[in-house]
Amino acid sequence: MSATTPAGQSPIPAAAPASLSTREPQVPADRLVAEMVPPPRFDSARFATYIPDPGQPSQAEAVRVLSGFAEGLGGAHATGAGKRRWFARAKQPAPAGPRGVYLDGGYGVGKTHLLASLWHATPAEPALKAFGTFVELTNLVGALGFQQTVRTLSGHRLLCIDEFELDDPGDTVLVSSLLGKLVEAGVALAATSNTLPGKLGEGRFAAADFLREIQGLSAHFKALRIDGEDYRHRGLPEAPAPYSDEQVTKAAYATPGASLDDFPQLLGHLARVHPSRYGALTDDLTAVCLTDVTPVPDQSTALRLVVLADRLYDREVPVLASGVPFDALFSEEMLAGGYRKKYFRAISRLTALARDAKPLVAG
């Protein structure tokens, strides 16, 4: 692959694209804490920019309820009173009843937009608000330890948890204990999921064995149902079909800041990188180019791909691919199983990113 040069001169080799498969980022714990803010895609998300579907009254109702919830988090401590008062506040009795809101609905109805809007609308300094996915929250506990995580987040006015899912019994007990401590400290909670809080873990593990913990989680939230169709594909053309290996490779070389990877090789590399570092894996990329996309071979690989798809979507990184279309990534068995909502979300988001990548292919 060579750059264009004047006639009579030797071609200048183009710089090779980056490769995700060679990156092994190290993410310090303080970065995990500092990055607990809405992702770049939702920097400008506000209640006023959420466009409710006129045919789905629950969407407009969600804006009304969440706006009131944000206003209710104002008060004497909302203008930077400092963490000393917050720790003092932790000694106060926890308020009766649910201390949070739980946005339940299908993928693509704008739950993350609403959650980010709540974060922005809450009258407190950014350092007193935290926003992260469920995976990022459990990764934070792994990096800091349980007690330090409690101390760090107890000084916050609001904790927003996106994509709330319980994939194993250990997470159930961990998150139940963590949120209980934070509610006692006076921290307000908000979460999104495709599963009602009382149904978390259903279809994934023996949820009945952990019913007490799951019911404890549910008690912290008032559920708010949001109905609707996937906005990412509402009224839009179908996603572009996969390109050829040659088209993807040429686009990768022609796009500054793009990466180029063989898809099966990338999947193997993801198994060696902790999911907490998938965001850092994509640092400074303008596009991700993948050749030979094939169906994922097993559920562990599929779940890692879901996390990568989420991080790429958060960061608005287009994805150009050859091979099978993204709606063929997961087997029928996977799409009918307990993680099906995660897989459908990944398909939805990757399809949107594939649409964003269409301009990268010349002609």
Q: What is the pLDDT of residue 340?
A: 82
- Successive 10-residue mean pLDDT values, the chain, 363 residues: 48 74 89 89 94 92 94 60 38 55 81 95 93 87 91 94 73 83 92 62 42 64 81 60 96 97 98 90 96 96 94 95 95 88 88 94 72
The stretches of 185-295 forming alpha helices (DSSP H) are: 211-219, 245-254, 263-270, 278-281
Q: How far apart are CA 99 and CA 190, in angstroms?
A: 9
Q: What is the pLDDT of residue 11?
A: 46
Tokens of 107: 């993928």
Residue 225 near residue 185, CB atoms below 8 Å: no
Our measurement of the distance from residue 193's CA atom to the centroid of its chain's CA atoms, rounded to an integer in Å, reads 11
Residue 355 near residue 236, CB atoms below 8 Å: yes
Helices 263-270, 299-314: crossing angle, 10 deg rounding: 100
Dump pLDDT digits (tens) for 243-255.
999 999 999 999 9
Q: What is the CATH number of domain 44-229?
A: 3.40.50.300
Q: What is the pLDDT of residue 85?
A: 37
Q: What is the pLDDT of residue 285?
A: 97
Q: What is the pLDDT of residue 205?
A: 36
Strand-pair category, 2-3 with 12-13: antiparallel
Q: How far apart are CA 155 and CA 360, in angstroms?
A: 45
Q: What is the pLDDT of residue 96?
A: 47
Residue 321, judged by CB atoms within 10 A of its CB (0-12, 13-18, 19+), counts as: buried
In sequence order, what are the residues at sequence separation of 6 or more whose Cβ sits closer than 8 angstroms to the Cβ of residue 37? 119, 126, 129, 130, 131
Helices 134-144, 146-154: crossing angle, 10 deg rounding: 120
The number of CA neighbours under 13 Å toward the Cβ of 286 is: 11
Q: What is the pLDDT of residue 138?
A: 86
Q: CA dist 91 to 133, 155, 183, Å?
A: 28, 12, 11
> Nearest 5°: phi and psi at 221?
-125, 150
Residue 161 near residue 189, CB atoms below 8 Å: yes
The model carries a pTM of 0.75
> Nearest 5°: phi and psi at 137?
-65, -45
Residue 138 near residue 166, CB atoms below 8 Å: no
Q: How far apart are CA 122 and CA 77, in angstroms?
A: 12
Q: What is the pLDDT of residue 77?
A: 42
Q: What is the pLDDT of residue 3?
A: 47
Residue 315 near residue 282, CB atoms below 8 Å: yes
Q: What angle do CA 200, 351, 66 make, to 5 degrees?
A: 45
| Residue ranges covered by each domain of the chain | 14-23+237-360, 44-229
Q: How far apart are CA 315 and CA 39, in angstroms?
A: 7
Q: How far apart are CA 201 and CA 253, in angstroms?
A: 44
Q: What is the pLDDT of residue 331?
A: 95
Q: What is the pLDDT of residue 271?
A: 95
The number of CA neighbours under 13 Å toward the Cβ of 355 is: 13
Residue 257, judged by CB atoms within 10 A of its CB (0-12, 13-18, 19+), counts as: exposed
